[in-house]
Each structure stands twice: as C-alpha cells, then as structure tokens.
Structure 1
Amino acid sequence: MGGESFEIARPPYLPMEMRGERAVADGLPADVSHAFGVFDETLCGIQEDGMSPSDHLWLPERENACGACREAAAVIDERRPQDMRGEEARLSVARRPGA
C-alpha cells in the first residue's frame, strides 16, 4: 500500500441469477424458493434458526421464486452503478497527507 495512490477494486458484478444461493431451513416452505440473505434470514426477511445457503443458485426467473426476494434482489442490483459493472471496475484514489 505504499506510494502516492492505490486502487480500490469492487467485487466483480454478477447478474442476480448468478450470485444468490437458495435458502434452506426446516421452517421454509418447500414449494417457494427463497434467496439466502445474511444472518439466518432470506432477502424477504424470513428468519429461521439454522438457515444456510444451499449448494444451488437462487434463480429469480423461476416460477416458484419468492416475489419479495425477487424485489429485494432487484433493489440491491439497482444500487450497483452501471459504470462499475465491468471487470475493470477499479477506482484510483490518492493518499491523503498524513494517512
């Protein structure tokens, strides 16, 4: 990190259908596919003890995908600036004096 400037790299952008895992927990209905969020919670806010991401992607275009999870995923997706979605999404930042 020496020198006058450094680069900040964002994680690579992935479309919704490539970045989310399906949530699994004993209390979730089997006929609705929910997206795993964080802290034992789905993107739509359902909390279950022991919830975890599965080995399978959560696919928002599937008929059984939770609509509220789909809406939350779309909001998250819209937050990523269009110009920061490429593989070269880097920003050079000058060091502040004394930092």
Structure 2
Amino acid sequence: MAHSLEAAAYLIESRLADAVRGDIDAYYDLGIAYSSGSEGIDVDLVEAHKWFNLAAVGGNVAGQACRAEIASEMSAREIALAQRQARAWLSMGVRGEA
C-alpha cells in the first residue's frame, strides 16, 4: 500500500513539473488521474475538469471529450470553480506546447 501511495505522489509530482512547462499531455494525464482515482489518487472531478480543460484549450481532442464526460457528473458551481482554476493556471503564464 505504501508503495502505491509513493507511486501516486511521484506521478503527480512528475506530471505537475511537466505541466508547469506547458506540457499538454501532462494536463491530460493529470485529468485522467484525478477523474479515475488511478494510482491511489483521490477522485476530484473539479481538479480533473481543470486539467482536461487546459488540455482541451491546448488542442488535445481526448481532453475535450473527457471534460465533456465528467461535466455531466458535476454541478454548475463545480464546473465554474474548475474553469476559474484553469484560468488562474493560465494567468500564471503557463502556455501549452502544441
């Protein structure tokens, strides 16, 4: 169990580092992790929507589809929060790589 928690922490840390560099695939991977709870990560649809939204803005078609899919399970308030978080991320000057 501890090993899987370490793996989850490493996944998030490494993909966040890539996301800071604007890696669109990292945005998508983070969305998958938070939407599915993979690797022992808690499911967080707001966080997942944020990352899928960032991937979608960068042109990731799968990110667009996943964002739409999880949005059907979220309240309007949760979606608005996720969108604010995505805008905040972009306002930090992080831009995706095509």
Calculate the TM-score normalised by the size of structure 1: 0.30
Structure number with higher strand proportion:
1
Which has the higher Rg, Structure 1 or Structure 2? 1
Calculate the TM-score normalised by the size of structure 2: 0.31
Structure number with higher helix proportion:
2
Query: Using CA pairs below 8 Å that are at least 6 residues apart, which structure has the higher relative contact order?
Result: 1
